Amino acid sequence: MAFGHNNRTENGLKAQLVAFLALLFVSAQFLATAHTAAYGDADHVHDGHPCIVASIVKKSSDMDVAPAPVLDVADQREWFAPTLPSHAPHSLATTTRPIRGPPAHA
CB atoms closer than 10 angstroms to residue 44: 13
CA distance 36 to 29: 11
In degrees, rounded to 5, the angle at the alpha carbon of residue 67 between the alpha carbons of residues 51 and 62 is: 15
**Where are the chain's structural domains?**
7-63
pLDDT digits (tens, 9 = 90+) for 82-101: 666 666 555 555 556 667 77
pLDDT at 18: 95
Give the max Cα distance, the chain. 97
The reported pTM is: 0.43
Q: Span 5-21, mean pLDDT?
A: 84
